Structure 1
Amino acid sequence: MHDLEASLLGGDRDLTLRDLADRAGPGVRPEDVQLFWRTLGLPYADTDERLFTDDDAQAVARIADLERSGRIDRRTAVTLTRALGHQSERLVLWQVEALVEDVAQRRHLDDISARLVVLDRLTELAPVLEAQLVHSFRRHLAAIAGRFAAEFAEARTTEQADPSALPLARAVGFADMVSFTRRTAGLGSTDLSAFVQRFETAARDIVANAGGRVVKTIGDAVLFIADDVVTGARVAVGLAGELGGELEVQARSEEGGLTEGHRGVTPVRVGFVQGRVLSRFGDVFGASVNVAARLTDIAEPSTVLTDPSTAELLAGDSRFVLEPQPPRELQGLGSIAPVLVRQA
């Protein structure tokens, strides 16, 4: 385990919090390093306990230099660090569990044995995973820079929005799997994992292919966003149509043996609206997010609902059919006359 840690952490744990503060440059105190470590989501120890490496010292020095040079302030430094910690923890857990499942299935091992095999392979796999992470990060950074550039170019030619409004005009929506509990009842851990992964993978592919982006998945639901109302509509009808198809599920008996495979229909209900949102912490917030969620709650399986103002924006587009529905009460929002959206 010592060799594995030294490989992953860039050396032995021979530095203290005080050492990290000293190496970070003038003005950095041990309590500042503690704040960094806490926002990264990692446990920290007493100031004189030797738990840190040269790589840790360099990480603290980099963020301290950004703050000291005036390029960011303390609040932003904390936010950037917290974002890294939160997403890295989820990413590492996701990838390691995928590796464990892969080893268990291919080598016919129990869970504990599979985890031990993955542990032995981490030194070999870590550089590959790290390189892929950097590649993915740079591609997504370039993509968001491109979206910003296009959006700002368009903003210069249009009337400026209300300065008190939320900053981003976006189409936002939810796709919620129908009867998730009933459909997954009796599945073992492996089959439940495969079912959820298949749903999430299919949803992400549909959203990306239509030009949208997945903000997050919430168990049996997906929150998506798009830069314009037409793209949002394409994403929504794509999810309702394609995820209403069939997913193969292999059901396992309680004894662990495979029973006959069966096909399970997995429709979703979709609600989406165009509105202004705030993007923070890898999530989106605003009244339109709440409206989309409530519309999803009342939508029928394999259908899309939107609000009247969004329907007006789509009214001249021959690719969509809009069907006004009777007014409904939405929890916390009052009465609204939803509009059914279908592909022409």
Structure 2
Amino acid sequence: MERGAIPGMAVEDLRNGWTDQDLAHARIVARLRARGHTLERIAEAAREGRLAYGPVEQILPGGEERMTLDQAAEATGLEPDLIVRIWTALGLPRELDRLSRSDVEALKHVAAALAAGLPDEAFLQLARVYGQALSQIADAEVRLVHLYFHVPLMREGVSSAEIAERMQHLARDLLPLATPIMEHVHERLLRHFIEQDVVGHMELDVDDEEHLSGRVRTSVAFCDLSGYSRLTEEEGEEQAFSTVERLIEAVQATLPEGGRLVKTIGDEVMIVCQDPGALVDWSVGLMSFFPDRPRPRIGIHYGSVLYRDGDYYGRAVNLAARIVARASGGEVLVSGDVVDAVRGKATRHLRFENIGEIKMKGFSRPVVLWRVAAAEQ
């Protein structure tokens, strides 16, 4: 306190008691000290307002009475080992002997979901998806508020106490809005994917053996920017990334019915779609949005993939990734399996050019590739 580690707090203030904000700052100081930071360095960071985000923690649940893992198991009816697996799948901190009342209430919802008939393995996969998605959301919320709210206040020279107060007010205003927004988006997307699943079962041949093993037959596309590394060197990271953002926005805005953006990795986008013809159509059309360098390139394969934890794995995915690596900017390359799947359908507006058998890294047999473009009018 005397060294300024807790802003605005002096020894004589102890007579009047500690405020919630003081206690929150004290917890932050204790954590930073445990990580080896000196009081002088902590005090400097506090004066600069860099620790002002910390007191927001006190308006979040989790500070109440704690329970042990065995107590949680008794309260929920879940086996301790299953609770550990669920907690790990969700990616939550492994503080299983310090579970809060709200943690236990959440586990009761899990127990109800399992009691309703959802298999343990299915729930664990859902838990991994929930954990990964919500971790990304929470990380984005913190980082974006930091970049667009916290840092500007520091640059303006606002006092650390005022920054902390503004941050708390912002959190109190925004947190109650996050849940209903996410609930609405979840319900809308759930309705969409239920519709897609029903349509998919009607239009595609269902292989019972594949479905029982967690496999689905779908088309997989990878799309990235040709020459992205060189663009980064020539134009700088921010300019290059703005091009990536434009690509991702174009993909999201134009995806065909039934198409889904699975993930982005750097400048690369992975897409799945049960209808290979629609995915090929979309890929050729996407090129018209990027007439100038750097242009996207796309590789597509159609086959059986393993579905786990909201993602797709297996030979078909690996092959699609290899195919895009063989494409040039502005090109759409597809495997022979894609051509076989769309043969006889309405593809007169497209031109398919057989470019021969290509040896792919990691694959024992060459793969026949086709270049697809819009047919000349």
**Normalised-by-shorter TM-score class:** 0.7 to 0.9
Is residue 44 of structure 1 aligned with residue 44 of structure 2?
no
For 1:201, the aligned partner's letter is: E
Compared with structure 1, are the counterparts of its residues 169 and 118 closer, same or farther at alpha carbon in structure 2 (3 Å cutoff)?
A: farther
Which of 324, 334, 337 aligns to 1:306? It is 334
Q: How many Å apart are 1:108 and its aligned residue?
A: 9.0
Where does residue 177 of structure 1 map in the other structure? 225
Which of 133, 144, 158 aligns to 2:182? It is 133
Which of 133, 137, 140 aligns to 1:87? It is 133
Where does residue 360 of structure 2 map in the other structure? 330
Contact map agreement 1:17 1:33 (CA 8 A) in 2? no
Where does residue 272 of structure 2 map in the other structure? 225
Compared with structure 1, are the counterparts of its residues 122 and 170 closer, same or farther at alpha carbon in structure 2 (3 Å cutoff)?
A: same
TM-score with structure 1 setting the length:
0.78
Which of 135, 143, 146 aligns to 1:100? It is 146
Cα distance in 2, alignment partners of residues 120 and 194 from structure 1: 32
Compared with structure 1, are the counterparts of its residues 181 and 23 closer, same or farther at alpha carbon in structure 2 (3 Å cutoff)?
A: same
Contact map agreement 1:172 1:274 (CA 8 A) in 2? yes
Compared with structure 1, are the counterparts of its residues 109 and 322 closer, same or farther at alpha carbon in structure 2 (3 Å cutoff)?
A: farther
CA RMSD in angstroms comes to 3.2
| Structure 2 counterpart SS, 1:71 | coil
Structure of larger gyration radius: 2
Cα distance in 1, alignment partners of residues 89 and 313 from structure 2: 22
TM-score with structure 2 setting the length:
0.72
Which of 370, 373, 376 aligns to 1:339? It is 370
Compared with structure 1, are the counterparts of its residues 180 and 119 closer, same or farther at alpha carbon in structure 2 (3 Å cutoff)?
A: farther
**Per-residue displacement from partner, 1:236-257 (whole Å, max 9, x unpaired)?**
2133332x345xxxxxxxxxxx
Compared with structure 1, are the counterparts of its residues 43 and 200 closer, same or farther at alpha carbon in structure 2 (3 Å cutoff)?
A: same
Where does residue 246 of structure 2 map in the other structure? 198
Cα distance in 1, alignment partners of residues 237 and 284 from structure 2: 31
Compared with structure 1, are the counterparts of its residues 118 and 13 closer, same or farther at alpha carbon in structure 2 (3 Å cutoff)?
A: same
For 1:202, the aligned partner's letter is: A
Alignment of 1:1-344 (within 5 A): 4-9=56-61, 12-18=63-69, 19-24=71-76, 26=77, 28-29=79-80, 32-45=82-95, 47=97, 49=98, 52=100, 54-67=101-114, 69=115, 71-103=117-149, 109=155, 121-154=170-203, 161=207, 163=209, 167-185=215-233, 194-207=242-255, 212-242=259-289, 244-245=290-291, 265-316=293-344, 317-333=347-363, 334-344=365-375
| Structure 2 counterpart SS, 1:332 | coil
Gaps of 5+ in 1: 247-264
**How many residues are aligned here?**
312
For 1:44, the aligned partner's letter is: R
Structure having the higher helix fraction is 2
Cα distance in 1, alignment partners of residues 131 and 186 from structure 2: 15
Compared with structure 1, are the counterparts of its residues 210 and 343 closer, same or farther at alpha carbon in structure 2 (3 Å cutoff)?
A: farther
| Structure 1 counterpart SS, 2:330 | coil
Q: How many Å apart are 1:231 and its aligned residue?
A: 1.0
Contact map agreement 2:84 2:96 (CA 8 A) in 1? no
Q: How many Å apart are 1:141 and its aligned residue?
A: 1.1
Instruction: Give the percent of matched residue pairs that are identical in Structure 1 and Structure 2.
Output: 22
Contact map agreement 1:8 1:123 (CA 8 A) in 2? no
Task: Point out the more displaced range, 71-80 or 124-133.
Answer: 71-80
Gaps of 5+ in 2: 1-20, 25-54
